[in-house]
Chain A
Amino acid sequence: MGATFRPASRESSDRSAGDRLRHRQKVRRSIMDNIGDIVAEESIIGRSGDQVVKVPIRGIKEYQFIHGKNQPSVGEGAGDDLAEGDVIARKPGDAAGKPGQAGEEAGVDYYETDITLDELIDMMFEDLNLPDLERKQMSSIESLRNTKRKGYRKVGLRVRLDRRRTVRNKIRRSLSTSSRTDVANDERVPFRAEDLSYRHRTTEIHKESNAAVFCIMDTSGSMGTTKKYLARSFFFMLYQFVARRYEKVDVIFLSHDIDAREVTEDEFFHKGESGGTFVSSGYNKALEIITDRYHPDLWNVYAFHCSDGDNFASDNPSAIKSAQELCDACNMFGYGEIKPQRATAYGNSLIDIFKAVAAPNFHAVLIEGKEDVWPAFKAFLGAEEDSA
C-alpha cells in the first residue's frame, strides 16, 4: 500500500512565535539581572552606542542531572597511526597557563548574546526604575520661539477672522434651520456669533537643555590601573546617564595630583600617575571652569570625583570648603572612593572627612571592586532623586 501524500495542511503559520518571544524575554531578564557585572566589563566601557557587544548571560540553561567532565568518550575515524597518549586537541589558552583564570572553571553556565550598546544602556536605566525622570527640574534655556497655526476658535482677534469658514458656517446653519421655501424667498440671513471662526495660533518654545559633566580624577601616585579602571566605569555610566537626559552634553576631564589640569579623554585614562594629593586643587579648577564656561543658570552641571581617599591632611579643610562650593554650583556632586580589596589607607579617608559636607546634592560612595560600581551608581542617582 502506498503512502498518503498531502501538502502542508495548514497555511504556513509561525508556530514558534510565542515560545520565541518568551525565550527572548528570559534572555532580556537575564541581562537585566546581570547588568551590574556586564556594564563593568572592560569591553563595554568606552564603546560607541551602535556597536554590538557580546554579553554573557546566565540562567537560561535547561538544567538536569548530568555527569561532570573528564568522563571518557568514544570517537570514530582514527587512523592506523593513532596511539595511546596522543593529544588530539588542546583548548586554546596561553601556553604559560595562568592559574585561576576566570572562565577556565567547568560548569559556569555562560553563553553569549549580541546586543547593541544602546539597547544595553536602555536596559540599564530601565533597571534603575527612576520614576518621572523627565519631570524633574532641569534648567533649560529658550533657544527658539515661533508661532504656528493650530486649529480654529470661536473667539479671537478681528484680524484672524477666517471669512471663508464663517460664511460656510452661516450657509450651513441657514440650510439646516430653515425650510427650502424660505431659501427660495431669498430672505437675508444675518451672521450670528456662532458662525464666526477665528484662526488660532500657538507659540512654541524650544528649550535646549545643556549639561556639563566634570570627571575629576585623582592621578596621584597611589592611583593604580585597577583604581583608574573602576573610576572609568563609573564615569562611563554617568556620561551615558546624563547624555540621555540632555540634548547637549559637554564632558570635562580634570586630573589632579597637587595641581589640577584639564586634559583630553585619552590622557585622562592613560596618563601615568605620580605625586601627592591636593583634592581641593581639582575642585577649584572645576569651579574656575564653571565660572568661565558653564554658568549654572544655563548649564546643568554634574561633577564626580574619583579618588582613593588619600589626601594630604593639610588640604582637608580647604577640600571640604571647595566641595561645599561645588555642591552649590552643581546639580549633583558625587565623590567615589576607590579602595580595591580594602587596600590599606594611610590613616585618613576622604569619605569620612566629607561627612562634614552638608549639601543635599552631595553623595559619597565607596567602591571596592567591579561589582560595586553599579550599586554605587544606583545609590548616586538615588541620592539625586531624594534631593530633587
Chain B
Amino acid sequence: MSHPGLDELREWDDRVVGLVDAFGLECAPQEFEICDHNDMLGYMAYSGMPSQYPHWSFGKAFEKQKTLYDHGVSGLPYEMVINSDPSLAYLMRDNSLGLNILTMAHVYGHNDFFRNNSTFVDTEPQYTLARFKSHAERIRSYVEDPVAGPTAVEATLDAAHALALNCQRNMSLRKTTRSEQQQRAIDMSTPPTDPNAAIHAPLSKEDPDLSRIPLEPEPDLLLFIRDYNPYLAEWQKDILTIVHEQAHYFIPQMETKIMNEGWASYWHYQVMSELDLPDDLRIEFMINHNQVIRPHPGGINPYHVGFRIWQAIYEREEGAGPIDHRRRDAGHHALFAARESDRDSSFLRRFLDRDLVRDLGLFEFTEKGRDTVVSKVADDQGWESVRDTLVASVGTGSLPVIEITDADFQGSRHLHLVHRYQGQELELPHARATMELLRTLWGRDVFLDTVLNEKPARLHCSEDGFSAESTDR
C-alpha cells in the first residue's frame, strides 16, 4: 500500500475530473480535506460537519461508532460528502492511493447529485457550512447565557430532536401562509354558482371559522410550537428554528439515499473503468467496488440497489452493449432526467420492475412471534407488493405522519394531534416519551388520536401522567 502525497492525488484528480466533465456531470467546486482515522471518527458523529452545536447525542454517536470500529464490526466510510458549495469531502491519509482515487470519483457523483436533484433545490448549499457554524455559535451562546444555561438548553434540544422529523418532508410542496389558508377556507365554504338559482332555494352558506388555529392540519411541529406557544423564550424559539433547519438540511439526503449512493457508485464505476489504471490499482478497485455494492442479505444495501437500477435505466435504452458516456444518447438522457426529477419513492416506483426485483432477490418479510417469515417473493403475484413495501419504507416514508389539528383543544390551549394511520400503529413507549417531550415544549396537555390494537384510541399526556384510552364506540 502506498500513501499518496498531495501531488499524486492532484494528478489523479485532474484525470478523474476530466472524465466527470466528459460524462456530463455538473459539479460544484470540490474540496478534499486530508484527515486521519481519528478525525474521520469525529466527523462521522457529526455527519461530517466541521462545526455543530454541542449535544450529548453526538457523544453517544461517537461512542457507538468508536466501539464498532474498535471491535472491527464496521470500518470507516470511504466517503463522506457534505452538500455544500464548494462541496466538502474527506480523504483518509491512511487509505491506499487506489481507495482514495475511488473515493474521489464517488464524491463527484454525490457532488453532481446534490447540485442537480430537485429534492435539494431549497438546501442553499452555499450557506451550509456558515449556517451550521452559526447554529453552533448561537447554541453555545445560550449555554453560556445565565438566563438559559446548559440544563435548559439541553432539555429544549432533547425535545426538539424528538420532533425534528415531524415536518413537511416533501420539499417540493410550498408551505402555505395563514392568509392563503384563510382564503382557501372561504373559497371552500362558498357554494358554487348555481345555474338554476331561480327555481330552488339558494344553497346555504356557512361562514368558516377563520380564527381556528391551525386552519389546516399542520405537519411542521417545531415551527408551529415556535409560532404559537407564547410562553417560549426567544432563545427557545431560536433552538426550535435551528433544529428544524438542520432537519430540513438532512431530510433530502434521507429521501434520496438509494438514488444518491447508486448514482455515485454508477459514476465511480464508469470513471474508474476508463481511467487506464495500472494493474495493481485496477484489481484493488475491483475488490473495493464489489465490497461497496455487494448485497446485504436480509437488508437493503442502497449502493447495490441504486447501482443496479441506474444500470438498468441505461440498458433499457441502449441495450447491454459497450457504454460510451461521452455520447449524449437516449440512455444518457434517461439517466440525467431521472437524476433531476426523482426521489427514492418515485424512483423505485418508476424503475424497479419485475426483472430487477427478481435479479436483486428482493423479498418481503414480517415478524410472526419469534419467527421472521417470508411473506412475499418476486413471483407474478408478489413482486408488486414487494416493490410497494420497499417504496413505503424508504427515506422518511417509514416514519409516521403526525399533524397538529388544534392548538386550543377543549378550549384550554391543549394541543391536539392526529396520527395519519396507514396500517401501521405507533410504537407506544416511544409515542409516550415523545409526547412527554412535546408537552415540555407546548407547556400544556397534549392529545394524540391514533390507532391502538386496531381500534381508534386517544393518547393523552398531562402533568399527571400519560393515558391511552380507546375511542371506539
Residues of A within 8 A of B393 (CB): 71, 73-74
**Cross-chain contact of B374 among A1, A18, A69, A82 (Cβ < 8 A):** A82
- For the complex, give the distance between the alpha carbons of A97 and B369 in Å: 10
| A109 close to chain B: CB less than 8 A | yes
Among the stretches A85-93, A153-161, A325-333, the one at the interface with B is A85-93
Q: In the complex the two chains form, is B363's CB within 8 Å of A75's CB?
A: yes
| A266 close to chain B: CB less than 8 A | no
Residues of B within 8 A of A62 (CB): 57, 60, 158, 161-162
**Cross-chain contact of A75 among B14, B297, B371 (Cβ < 8 A):** B297
Per-position 1/0 for B90-111, Cβ under 8 A of A: 0100000000000010000000
Among the stretches A9-17, A115-123, A163-171, A278-286, the one at the interface with B is A9-17
**Cross-chain contact of A8 among B33, B301, B305 (Cβ < 8 A):** B33
**Cross-chain contact of B427 among A9, A91, A107 (Cβ < 8 A):** A107
Residues of B within 8 A of A74 (CB): 300, 362-365, 386, 389-390, 393
- For the complex, give the distance between the alpha carbons of A61 and B367 in Å: 23
Q: In the complex the two chains form, is A12's CB within 8 Å of B39's CB?
A: yes
Residues of B360-417 whose CB lies within 8 A of A: 360-367, 370-378, 382, 386, 389-390, 393, 398-400, 402
| B9 close to chain A: CB less than 8 A | yes
| B232 close to chain A: CB less than 8 A | no
**Cross-chain contact of B362 among A72, A75, A109 (Cβ < 8 A):** A75
Instruction: Give chain B nearest CB distance to A71 CB in angstroms.
Output: 5
Q: In the complex the two chains form, is B424's CB within 8 Å of A71's CB?
A: yes
A66-B427 CB under 8 A given contacts A19-B54, A84-B376: yes
Bin chain B's interface residue count.
35 or more
Q: In the complex the two chains form, is A84's CB within 8 Å of B377's CB?
A: yes
- For the complex, give the distance between the alpha carbons of A71 and B368 in Å: 10
A2-B17 CB under 8 A given contacts A64-B430, A72-B366, A77-B361: yes
Residues of B within 8 A of A61 (CB): 433
- For the complex, give the distance between the alpha carbons of A71 and B56 in Å: 31
- For the complex, give the distance between the alpha carbons of A22 and B61 in Å: 12
| A206 close to chain B: CB less than 8 A | no
Instruction: Give chain B nearest CB distance to A247 CB in angstroms.
Output: 38
| B13 close to chain A: CB less than 8 A | yes
Q: In the complex the two chains form, is A82's CB within 8 Å of B6's CB?
A: no
Residues of A within 8 A of B305 (CB): 76
Q: In the complex the two chains form, is B298's CB within 8 Å of A7's CB?
A: no
Residues of A within 8 A of B214 (CB): none
Residues of B within 8 A of A7 (CB): 6, 33-34
Q: In the complex the two chains form, is A8's CB within 8 Å of B39's CB?
A: yes
Q: In the complex the two chains form, is A88's CB within 8 Å of B400's CB?
A: no
- For the complex, give the distance between the alpha carbons of A226 and B58 in Å: 43
Q: In the complex the two chains form, is A73's CB within 8 Å of B389's CB?
A: yes
Please classify the interface of chain A as helix (H, G, I), strand (E, B), loop, or mixed, using the class held by over half of its residues.
Answer: loop
A69-B59 CB under 8 A given contacts A77-B297, A82-B374, A107-B429: no
Q: In the complex the two chains form, is A15's CB within 8 Å of B42's CB?
A: yes
- For the complex, give the distance between the alpha carbons of A180 and B196 in Å: 131
Residues of B within 8 A of A84 (CB): 374-377, 382
**Cross-chain contact of B31 among A3, A87, A108, A109 (Cβ < 8 A):** A3
A78-B33 CB under 8 A given contacts A67-B424, A69-B367, A109-B429: no
A3-B32 CB under 8 A given contacts A62-B57, A62-B161, A109-B429: yes
| A135 close to chain B: CB less than 8 A | no
Instruction: Name the CB-closest residue of A to B402.
Output: A65
| A79 close to chain B: CB less than 8 A | yes
Instruction: Give chain A nearest CB distance to B220 CB in angstroms.
Output: 14
**Cross-chain contact of B431 among A3, A26, A65, A76 (Cβ < 8 A):** A65
- For the complex, give the distance between the alpha carbons of A343 and B166 in Å: 49
Residues of A within 8 A of B298 (CB): 75-77, 88-89
Most B CB within 10 A of own CB, among A1, A12, A71, A75: A75
Q: In the complex the two chains form, is B431's CB within 8 Å of A6's CB?
A: no
Residues of B within 8 A of A172 (CB): none
Residues of A within 8 A of B376 (CB): 72, 84
Residues of B within 8 A of A76 (CB): 295-301, 304-305, 360-363
Residues of B within 8 A of A60 (CB): 60
Instruction: Name the CB-closest residue of A to B158.
Output: A62
| A133 close to chain B: CB less than 8 A | no
Per-position 1/0 for B153-171, Cβ under 8 A of A: 0100010011111100000
Instruction: Name the CB-closest residue of A to B425.
Output: A68
**Cross-chain contact of A5 among B13, B363, B366 (Cβ < 8 A):** B13
Instruction: Give chain B nearest CB distance to A236 CB in angstroms.
Output: 30
Instruction: Give chain A nearest CB distance to B139 CB in angstroms.
Output: 12
Residues of A within 8 A of B372 (CB): 87-90
Residues of B within 8 A of A201 (CB): none
- For the complex, give the distance between the alpha carbons of A66 and B162 in Å: 10
| B86 close to chain A: CB less than 8 A | yes
Q: In the complex the two chains form, is B361's CB within 8 Å of A64's CB?
A: no
Residues of A269-283 whose CB lies within 8 A of B: none
| B19 close to chain A: CB less than 8 A | no
Residues of A19-40 whose CB lies within 8 A of B: 19-26
Which residues does A use to contact B, with CB under 8 Å?
1-9, 12, 14-16, 18-26, 60-79, 82-91, 93, 97, 106-109
Known: A12-B36, A16-B58. 9 other contacts (CB 8 A): A5-B31, A8-B33, A12-B39, A14-B42, A64-B430, A72-B376, A74-B390, A84-B375, A85-B373
Which residues does B use to contact A, with CB under 8 Å?
6, 9-10, 13-14, 17, 29-36, 38-39, 42, 45-46, 54-60, 62-63, 86, 91, 104, 154, 158, 161-166, 295-301, 304-305, 360-367, 370-378, 382, 386, 389-390, 393, 398-400, 402, 419, 424-431, 433-434, 437
List 16 contacting pairs A-B, 8 Å CB cutoff, sorted by A: A1-B17, A1-B29, A3-B13, A3-B30, A23-B57, A23-B59, A64-B166, A68-B427, A71-B366, A71-B393, A75-B296, A76-B300, A76-B362, A76-B363, A82-B363, A84-B376
